[in-house]
């Protein structure tokens, strides 16, 4: 960033200097014409008893002091201006990044909706057509065609099972069902167990003194944080185990969640890569007026700590 003053203020500074030089020159010419110094000296000597002859020197020192004072203030003002300009640029950059992220979040949301719509159209459409065809077959079956009717009924049963599984999968993507049926602690326990089974990475969950009055917003946030953290461990960490702690803060006013892995850890710039997971985590926590930190774990991996106030918004 370039912080040089704009040309108009440079021009103004040169004009001021020229005016000062002109005033000094005029003063010199007038003083020479009127012999001003001699007259002043004679005046001061006449009032020597009041020490008036010491005033010019003192006033000169005072003027120099004022010059120094002005120089220092100008310097400080320039520094403050520079800092403000750089803060403004940082704010503009953050706003730009925020806009980018919002756009990407909207795109991701749209992708997810498109995928759900495609599944609804393809899978549900096909399955319903298959069920209708088989039902039609049964409806128009000739008496005695027991084998055909049985085969159609089996196909209907199979398709209905398929639709049910599909529906459950879609619902789970929209909202973790275990949260409603089991509650936060059991839902996280189930999530850990199924993730451990899928990935073969040990996942230890330690709930301790979890507040009973956890709101739905906090429960969903904790669940989504753990989900994203576990996905990241699978994709980036190369860890052999993960530890998850859920409890309450020392003052009992917040829920505390800690997820720690023993993988390769994360460098600061990686947190600002094009991924949306960590950004989403931060946004979810910020929406509940909570705090989140990502730091190296004792086991060299990554430690994510989130504190969510129990009386935050929508809590
Ligand atoms: N547990 C982890 N261990 C090591 N590195 C990690 C871990 N979690 C995240 N990272 C690093 O932080 C980056 C950002 O993670 P983030 O979840 O935001 O994005 P992503 O996983 O790459 O993509 P997305 O989550 O959007 O599908 C990752 O690319 C990875 O380099
Ligand atoms: Mg991720």
- The tens digit of pLDDT for each residue in 52-93 reads 778 888 999 999 999 999 999 999 999 999 999 999 999 999
Instruction: Sort strands 254-261 and 302-309 into parallel, antiparallel or unpaired.
Output: antiparallel
Number of neighbours of residue 238 by Cβ within 10 angstroms: 13
For residue 315, pLDDT over 60 is answered with no
Answer yes or no: are the C-beta atoms of 242 and 259 closer than 8 Å.
yes
**Beta partners for residue 309, in sequence order:** 254
Per-residue pLDDT at 147? 92
Measure 273 CA to ligand 1 centroid, in angstroms.
Answer: 8
The pTM of the whole model exceeds 0.85: no
Predicted local confidence at residue 3, as pLDDT = 54
At 23, the pLDDT band (50, 70, 90 cuts) reads very high
Q: Does residue 290 share a domain with residue 192? A: yes
Q: Atom 5 (ligand 1): residue with closest C-alpha?
A: 266
Number of C-beta neighbours around residue 223 at 10 A? 19
Give the distance (Å) from ligand 2 centre to CA of residue 85. 34
Whichever domain contains 264, its CATH number is 3.30.565.10
Give ligand 1 pocket residues (Cβ under 6 A).
232-233, 235-237, 261, 263-266, 270-271, 273, 275-279, 302
Domain assignment present for 157: no
Residues 184 and 290 in one domain: yes
Residue 130 within a domain: no
Does residue 113 sit within a domain?
no
Domain end marker among 101, 129, 163? 101
Domain boundary among 69, 101, 133: 101
Q: Whose CA is nearest to atom 8 of ligand 1?
A: 232
How many independent structural domains does the chain possess? 2
Contact (Cβ atoms closer than 8 angstroms) between residue 303 and residue 260: yes
Residue range of the domain that includes 277? 177-309
Given 58, 73, 101, the domain boundary residue is 101
Nearest ligand atom owner, CA of 272: 1
Spacing, Cα 226 to ligand 1 middle (Å): 13
pLDDT band at 9 (very low <50, low <70, confident <90, very high): confident
Residue 60 has a pLDDT of 92
The answer to whether residue 155 sits within a structural domain is: no
Query: Which residue(s) pair with 258 in the sheet?
Result: 245, 305
Residues 89 and 187 in one domain: no
Q: Which of 290, 298, 302, 210 is nearest to 264 (CA)?
A: 302
Kindly report the protein residue whose alpha carbon is nearest to atom 22 of ligand 1.
275
Q: 291 alpha carbon to ligand 2 midpoint, in Å? A: 19
How far is ligand 2, taken at its centre, from the CA of residue 215, in Å? 25
DSSP 253: S
Residue 146 has pLDDT above 80, yes or no: yes
How many helices (DSSP H) and strands (DSSP E) are in the chain?
Answer: 9, 5
Is residue 270 within 8 A of residue 232, CB to CB? The reply is no
Compute the distance between CA of residue 271 and CA of residue 257 in angstroms, rounded to an integer: 19
Scanning the structure block, which residue is given the tokens 């599944």?
119
Q: Point out the ligand nearest to the CA of residue 303.
A: 1
Dist CA 293 CA 272 (whole Å):
14
DSSP 241: E
Q: Which two tokens stand for residue 106?
A: 């909207």
Ligand 2 midpoint to CA 275 (Å): 6
Q: Based on the domain organization, do 184 and 95 belong to the same domain?
A: no
Same domain, 93 and 182: no
255, 218 in Cβ contact below 8 A? Answer: yes
pLDDT score at 91: 95
Pocket test for ligand 1, best of 104, 236, 240, 284 (most atoms within 8 A of CB): 236
**What distance lies between CA 159 and its chain's CA centroid?**
44
Same domain, 276 and 187: yes
Could you tell me if residue 265 is inside a domain?
A: yes
In a domain, 27, yes or no: yes
The rounded distance, in Å, linking the Cα atoms of 221 and 204 is: 19
> Which of 51-65, 222-236, 242-256 is least confident?
51-65
Sequence-ordered list of residues with C-beta below 8 angstroms from that of 236, at least 6 positions apart, any chain: 263, 264, 266
- DSSP string for residues in 119-137: HIIIIIHHHHHHHHHHHHH
- Closest ligand 1 atom to Cα of 301: 3
Same domain, 73 and 181: no
């Amino acid at each position: 960033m370039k912080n040089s003053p704009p040309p108009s203020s440079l021009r103004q500074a040169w004009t001021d200097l020229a005016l000062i030089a002109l005033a000094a020159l005029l003063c010199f010419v007038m003083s020479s014409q009127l012999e001003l110094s001699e007259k002043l000296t004679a005046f001061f000597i006449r009032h020597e008893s009041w020490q008036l002859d010491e005033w010019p020197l003192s006033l000169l020192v005072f003027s120099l002091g004022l010059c120094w004072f002005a120089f220092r203030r100008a310097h400080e003002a320039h520094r403050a201006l520079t800092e403000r300009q750089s803060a403004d640029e940082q704010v503009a950059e953050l706003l730009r990044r925020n806009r980018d992220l919002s756009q990407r979040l909207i795109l991701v949301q749209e992708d997810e909706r498109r995928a759900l719509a495609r599944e609804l159209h393809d899978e549900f459409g096909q399955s319903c057509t298959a069920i209708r065809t088989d039902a039609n077959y049964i409806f128009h079956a000739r008496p005695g065609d027991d084998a055909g009717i049985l085969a159609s009924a089996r196909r209907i049963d199979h398709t209905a099972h398929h639709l049910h599984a599909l529906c459950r999968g879609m619902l789970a993507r929209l909202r973790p069902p275990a949260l409603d049926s089991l509650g936060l602690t059991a839902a996280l326990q189930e999530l850990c167990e199924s993730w451990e089974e899928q990935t073969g990475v040990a996942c230890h969950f330690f709930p301790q003194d979890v507040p009973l009055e956890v709101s739905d917003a906090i429960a969903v946030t904790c669940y989504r944080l753990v989900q994203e953290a576990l996905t990241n461990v699978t994709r980036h960490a190369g860890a052999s185990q993960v530890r998850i702690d859920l409890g309450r803060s020392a003052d009992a006013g917040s829920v505390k969640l800690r997820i720690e892995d023993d993988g390769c850890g994360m460098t600061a710039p990686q947190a600002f890569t094009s991924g949306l997971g960590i950004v989403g985590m931060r946004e979810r926590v910020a929406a509940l007026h909570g705090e989140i930190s990502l730091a190296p774990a004792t086991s060299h991996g990554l430690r994510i700590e989130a504190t969510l106030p129990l009386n935050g918004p929508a809590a």
